[in-house]
Chains A and B, each alone.
Chain A
Amino acid sequence: MGKRMKSKGILPGFGLTIGYTLVYLSLLVLIPLSILFLQTASMTWEQFWLTVTDQRVLASFQVSFLTAFFAACMNAVFGVLVAWVLVRYHFPGKRFIDGIVDLPFALPTAVAGIALASIYSENGWIGQLFAAWGMKIAYTPVGIFVALTFIGLPFVVRTVQPVLQDWDRQVEEAAATLGASRLQTFLRVILPHLLPAILTGFALAFARALGEYGSVVFISGNMPFQTEIVPLLIMTKLEQFDYTGATAIASVMLVASFFMLLVINFFQWKTNKLDAGR
């Protein structure tokens, strides 16, 4: 890295581009986020601790992190499956399905929330099937899970797809000539290769799910202690003009997310190291 920065290269402009990058990141990310901590700092430690350990706040942390985590897990499994189908097989309508994958990106999340809530409610199309079994989806944590799975769908698919596309099929054939079954080939040869991409997709889907607001509020029912997510609680605090309370919760959220991304990045770095310099 050090060497590359020093050498001029054939395209000049390092100074200009790094300057722009720093200004850009400061204006958009660093300054707003530091204001968050500044606001929080106007509280005493005691006040801060009381705010973030409030029973209702703790319950919402639990709801948010658990549903986001399970949704990201779900997406990791089925994202790989969708990517696999899109890369490995040729079938009519393949391009259409490929396009559908990106829809959760493009759709206003509130629209998605309303649609999901009406379909998964007790008398909705899908909701009534589950209702027959005595299972409620909308207005329960399961509903939040459904919404978060929806909005996180593209991440794993889009990170795994290119890796699978570049995959050398001969490696699979090599495994087969050595007597490995199809399952063994997938689990021991292909999956380890996909793992870094799956982790990236998982991290992105998880981060996105943690911050999701629009689609969740319609389907969750927003009951304190049960289906209240952290972003909603922050909104509630803001509406009550409790700015410092809101920023206190937000900063905890920020630190927690940052830490989790750090852990995932570490795993990624570990798995990537093995593949380095092919």
Chain B
Amino acid sequence: MSIEICGISKSYGSFTALRDVQLEIPTGQLVALLGPSGSGKTTLLRLIAGLEPADSGQVFFNGEDHTHRDVRERGVGFVFQHYALFRHMDIFDNIAFGLTVRPRKQRPTKAEIKERVHSLLRLVQLEGLAHRYPSQLSGGQRQRVALARALAVEPKFLLLDEPFGALDAKVRQELRRWLRRLHEKLGLTIVFVTHDQEEALELADRVVVMNEGRVEQTGSPQEVYNNPSNPFVYSFLGRVNFFRGRIADGKVKLGEAEFAVDWASEDDNVPAVGYVRPHDVDVSRSPQYPQSVAAELIYVYNLGSVVRLELRRMDTGEIFEAEMSRRRFAELSLQSGDLLYVHLKHVAFYVGGHLIHA
């Protein structure tokens, strides 16, 4: 089922949570709403579910206006960050809850409910725990119970609010994979909220980047990562270095380094900012390219598979990071205090928040 959000705004007193949000979520996709805290992503999710009324704008499910429908009529599955399980019910009753509260005429028989709950328990790999209570389960298991409970009522789509936020790193990894497989199996539209860019890029078919109540960019993980439409998206998706410079004669000058860009404006000598990912910084012991700049190695961070270097540019004094493989690091046999030459690849230039093509 597709979701369409048209011009939704929402504020709490003087705080504006959502500003005129437009968003389309096609059927069957796994979509991540990604943003820092306070960006409005959870508010948007709650609004889709009907847990929060919108100040203005409309919500459509499959082209049908649902803006003024009650939560109970919307038929969406919602999973909360802290599970929100019914503590006094065992796992079986938790999952069966949505079926047992139906009006008598629509309620499945006891045997059907039992059958359905057990098939859901198999789906979330919790067979045999039907008669445990939520307090007897681990965080990851509780979250899977919450998912099964939401799925029991055969929702039109699933909304997950920071589903892995309260879990430790290893369980989070496992659950991500599991959710991905579940999505492939069920073909259900799933929207999840996260502030973890890695989670969004790994899991989602489409990433919606949000900031200060606005949608900044929507696209596949590759699109948003490789072509961020503005500096916010660039810096939010992964680590980034930025260098201040000026643009003149179709060239951006960042200290001693010059880069040719597609700059047709009359204005010259305008401030520009260049963004580079740490893994796009080439480090060598001697200058390899004309634009190479000298830098001093300040500190080495060993991160396991990669090594991160903290460097200071000799020309501008700006501090930045570079990442390289362990092997490359061993080849160069680097030590802090060494004088190195760096070459910046794939620099993205922004003038006044707009991307300039190289």
Across the interface, do A188 and B82 meet the contact criterion of CB distance under 8 Å? no
Measured in the bound complex, the distance between the Cα atoms of B72 and A188 in whole Å is: 16
Across the interface, do A275 and B88 meet the contact criterion of CB distance under 8 Å? yes
A170 within 8 A of B: yes
A34 within 8 A of B: no
Q: How far is the CB of B139 from chain A (nearest CB, A)?
A: 12
User: Known pairs A170-B84, A179-B101, A180-B97. 18 more at Cβ < 8 A?
Assistant: A170-B80, A171-B85, A173-B51, A173-B78, A175-B86, A176-B71, A177-B49, A177-B76, A177-B78, A177-B150, A178-B97, A178-B153, A179-B72, A179-B102, A180-B72, A181-B101, A276-B135, A277-B135
Q: How many residues of A contact B (CB 8 A)?
A: 23
Q: Beyond A179-B72, A275-B135, is A173–B84 a contact (Cβ under 8 Å)?
A: yes
Query: Most B CB atoms within 10 A — which of A171, A178, A274?
Result: A178
Instruction: Provide a sorted-by-A list of 21 A–B residue pairs whose CB atoms are within 8 angstroms.
Output: A168-B84, A170-B84, A173-B78, A174-B80, A174-B146, A175-B86, A175-B97, A175-B101, A176-B72, A177-B72, A177-B76, A177-B78, A178-B97, A179-B102, A180-B97, A188-B97, A189-B86, A192-B88, A193-B88, A274-B87, A274-B133
Find chain B residues with CB under 8 A from A174 CB: 78, 80, 84-86, 146, 149
Measured in the bound complex, the distance between the Cα atoms of B51 and A174 in whole Å is: 10
Which A145-199 residues have a C-beta within 8 angstroms of B?
Answer: 168, 170-171, 173-181, 184, 188-189, 192-193
Measured in the bound complex, the distance between the Cα atoms of B80 and A168 in whole Å is: 11
Across the interface, do B150 and A178 meet the contact criterion of CB distance under 8 Å? yes
Q: Taking beta carbons and an 8 Å cutoff, which residues of A are in contact with B?
A: 168, 170-171, 173-181, 184, 188-189, 192-193, 271, 274-278
Query: Most B CB atoms within 10 A — which of A174, A181, A276?
Result: A174
Interface string of B15-41 (1 = CB under 8 A from A): 000000000000000000000000000
Contact of B51 among A177, A181, A271, A276 (CB under 8 A): A177
Across the interface, do A178 and B87 meet the contact criterion of CB distance under 8 Å? no
Measured in the bound complex, the distance between the Cα atoms of B102 and A188 in whole Å is: 13
Across the interface, do B87 and A275 meet the contact criterion of CB distance under 8 Å? yes
Q: How far is the CB of A193 from chain B (nearest CB, A)?
A: 6
Measured in the bound complex, the distance between the Cα atoms of B153 and A271 in whole Å is: 28
Q: Summarize A's interface: helix, strand, loop or mixed.
A: helix
Interface string of B94-132 (1 = CB under 8 A from A): 000110011000000000000000000000000000000
Q: Taking beta carbons and an 8 Å cutoff, which residues of B are in contact with A?
A: 49, 51, 71-72, 74-78, 80, 82, 84-88, 97-98, 101-102, 133-136, 146, 149-150, 152-153
Q: How far is the CB of B50 from chain A (nearest CB, A)?
A: 8
Q: Beyond A174-B78, A275-B87, is A180–B101 a contact (Cβ under 8 Å)?
A: yes
Find chain A residues with CB under 8 A from B84 CB: 168, 170-171, 173-174
Measured in the bound complex, the distance between the Cα atoms of B138 and A278 in whole Å is: 10
Find chain A residues with CB under 8 A from B76 CB: 177
Which residue of chain B has its CB nearest to the CB of A276? B135
> How many residue pairs, one in A and one in B, have C-beta atoms under 8 Å apart?
74
Find chain B residues with CB under 8 A from A275 CB: 87-88, 135
Across the interface, do B82 and A168 meet the contact criterion of CB distance under 8 Å? yes
Find chain B residues with CB under 8 A from A271 CB: 88
Find chain A residues with CB under 8 A from B51 CB: 173, 176-177
Find chain A residues with CB under 8 A from B80 CB: 170, 173-174
Find chain B residues with CB under 8 A from A180 CB: 72, 97-98, 101
Contact of A181 among B72, B135, B153 (CB under 8 A): B72
Find chain A residues with CB under 8 A from B146 CB: 174
Measured in the bound complex, the distance between the Cα atoms of B86 and A175 in whole Å is: 9
Query: Most A CB atoms within 10 A — which of B80, B87, B134?
Result: B87
Measured in the bound complex, the distance between the Cα atoms of B84 and A168 in whole Å is: 8
Measured in the bound complex, the distance between the Cα atoms of B87 and A171 in whole Å is: 9
Which residue of chain A has its CB nearest to the CB of B146? A174
Q: How far is the CB of A167 from chain B (nearest CB, A)?
A: 11
Measured in the bound complex, the distance between the Cα atoms of B94 and A171 in whole Å is: 11
Q: Beyond A177-B49, A179-B102, is A278–B72 a contact (Cβ under 8 Å)?
A: no
Across the interface, do A173 and B71 meet the contact criterion of CB distance under 8 Å? yes
Q: How far is the CB of B158 from chain A (nearest CB, A)?
A: 11
Q: How far is the CB of B80 from chain A (nearest CB, A)?
A: 5
Across the interface, do B101 and A178 meet the contact criterion of CB distance under 8 Å? yes
Which residue of chain B has its CB nearest to the CB of A273? B133
Find chain A residues with CB under 8 A from B77 CB: 177
Q: How far is the CB of B198 from chain A (nearest CB, A)?
A: 26
Find chain B residues with CB under 8 A from A278 CB: 87, 134-135
